[in-house]
Every structure is written in structure tokens, then in C-alpha cells.
Amino acid sequence: MTVREATAAELPFVQRFLQAYVDELWQRPFPPGPIGDGDLDGKLVLVAEEDDAIEGAAFGVAAEAGRPAHLHFVYVEPERRRQGIGRELVSAFAEAAAAAGAEHLTLDVDTPNEAGRALWRRLGFVEYALRLATPLPALVERLGGAEGVTFGSVHAQTDDLAGVERAVRTFVPRLGRSARSVVVPPQNGWIAVYDELCEREPDLLRRLARELSDRVGVALAIGVEAGEVVRYVLFDRGRMVDEYLSVPEFRGPLPPGDVIALGANPTLLSRLTGADPARVRAVARTAATPAELPQAQELVAQIGELLGLSGVDLASAEASELPGVLRIDR
């Protein structure tokens, strides 16, 4: 097998490999762009050839003043994998980059590609950044200020995905309005439910959490209201046991006892979710105004993290793009 720089006549083969790579592995929350000649402009393009047949390819930027080399792409024909061809392509690219004066090599690997991530770690690559994405309309809406977006989700403490799906299919149609529900497979012992209708109406979100709690035991409704405050309501066996509102008097003055009651209960949260009480006290704080706390989007993510929940800062439109979700239209 020979690894060498591609000729102009071979670039269509590399583009075909790039399309095959996208078809096989693309799981990002947005569609891939069109593949064309511009993808290879200014790149070092390598091919692996054996018996006059191209078995794999790699390309990237081998040298750029003051920056690391970057490997954009490595692909090997499926029937020729696990034979060292990919390693040879990476080795040849690394040698070219080093000869051009680069001191480091970077690359991107998608989060769901666990095999790829493991391979690069074995070769000594370490994670140094996290790339995030969100639909722009949702972001613009969330940044709308005091009259900003209201969104939320329900999290059931169970691994029974089929049971949660049945419960959602039973409860949500009783609301009498068409929308979509999204059920996310269990993570850290919690199944998340997003609903286009309930996320905009906190009372309905609470009802959905109570319905799931009747069936599974512990369930939590959590979200952002009016783009400014964070609320969660915790249920155990269908009974509300704790409610938190980051700014208790956001909607108007309350009796002192009610203000206190809307603070998080660290002891109860520790018992039902395993959260560290000290962290609950530090993160799930209340204040007189939203300005005294982190932005609502940041605060809801922090509270979700300490409770072991994933995706509490997502709306249903964003959650529907997650891998492996169940989508329930009605």
C-alpha cells in the first residue's frame, strides 16, 4: 500500500469518500452542507492506494502560520478497515505537518462517535474545547428579555422508557390540542419528556409531571419562565413535595412564609435525587430580582447538573434533534 498526495484527477474519489463519511456518521443537530470542489481548496489531500485502487483518503491544513495543523477528514473503505490504512494516512499527514513547521495537530470528532473518540484518545489526542449548537430562532426568542420565552421539561426517575411513552400517549391527548411530544431515553436514571404545548404553560407542565409521578414515583418539572426566572416542582408518588422559584416575588409580593417555601429543600432533594445538599444551597438560590442571579438559561442548566439531569436548558424543538428520541405526534 502507498500513501501519497492526490492528483487533480483523483479529487472526485476523495469527494465521494467525503459523501460516504457524511452518510455514515453525520449526527449533528443541523444538516450537512453541499459537498463540492471548495472543500478541498488549500488542503493537503492524501490517498491510500493499493493495486491501482484508492482505498482511503485524508485531507486537512498541514501548515498555517502561527496555528496548529488541522486534520479535517480521514476515511477508509468499509471492507478495508482494521488493516492499518487509516493509521498510515494519519501518519503521513502528521509527518507532512511536522515538516511544514507545525507543532500540534488538531481535529474534530462528533460527540456520538464513540469509536472515533476512543481511537483518537489512544493516539494521544485530548479534548480541549466543546463546540455547541442551537437553532437560531430559539436563541433569538430566549434572548428576548423580561417578556422572553417560557420553556420547560419533565424528568421521570426511571429507566422504563416504554412505560413513560405510554403515560405520555395517555395523558397528553386529554389536553385536546395538537402538538408534539419528545421522549429522551434514560440518562443517569432519568427519562426526559418535552412537549410543545406543556413547555409554554407551566401549569400543564406541572400536571404532566404529576401524571408521571403517579406511575414511576419521582418526577420533576423544571424550566424557565418569561426568560427571567427558573422554577422546578418535584413530585413523589403523585404528591408535590418541593417547589423552587428563583425569584419568589417575580409575579408580585408574597407573604414571608410563601417566599421561604419557594426556596429549594436541600435535604429532600438529596434524599430523592442524590444531589449534594451543600451544592443545592450554593446553586439553587433565591433572590429579590433576576439581576442578582445568573441568567435564567445558565441557572437552569446549573440546577439540572446538580440534580443529575440532562437537557433542562433545551426546548422541545431542540430536544427533537437529539439522537435516539421518541417523537409522539398528536
pLDDT digits (tens, 9 = 90+) for 51-107: 888 999 999 999 877 789 999 999 999 998 889 999 999 999 999 999 999 999 999
CA distance 234 to 274: 14
What pLDDT is recorded for position 114?
A: 87
How many Å apart are CA 137 and CA 318, to the nearest integer? 11
CA distance 101 to 98: 5
By three-state DSSP, how is residue 225 classified? Answer: strand
C-alpha cell at 118: 476512543
Q: Cell numbers at residue 327, please?
A: 417523537
Domain range annotation of the chain: 2-122, 136-329
Q: What percent of the chain has pLDDT over 90?
A: 64
At 227, the amino acid letter reads G
Whether pLDDT at 305 is above 90: yes
Phi/psi of residue 176, nearest 5 degrees? 80, 10
**Contact in structure between 258 and 243 (CB atoms under 8 Å):** no
* pTM value surpassing 0.75: no
- The DSSP output letter for 51 is T
Identify whether the C-beta of residue 133 lies closer than 8 Å to the C-beta of residue 98.
Answer: no
The H or E element spanning position 138 is helix 136-142
Could you tell me the three cell numbers for 231?
A: 422554577
* Per-residue pLDDT reduced to its tens digit, 22-44: 888 888 878 887 776 677 888 99
Q: How far apart are CA 265 and CA 277, in angstroms?
A: 8
For residues 209 and 105, give the distance between their C-alpha atoms in angstroms, rounded to a whole number: 48
Each residue of 159-214: pLDDT tens digit? 999 999 999 988 876 665 557 899 999 999 999 999 988 998 999 999 999 999 99
- Domain 2-122 fold: Aminopeptidase (3.40.630)
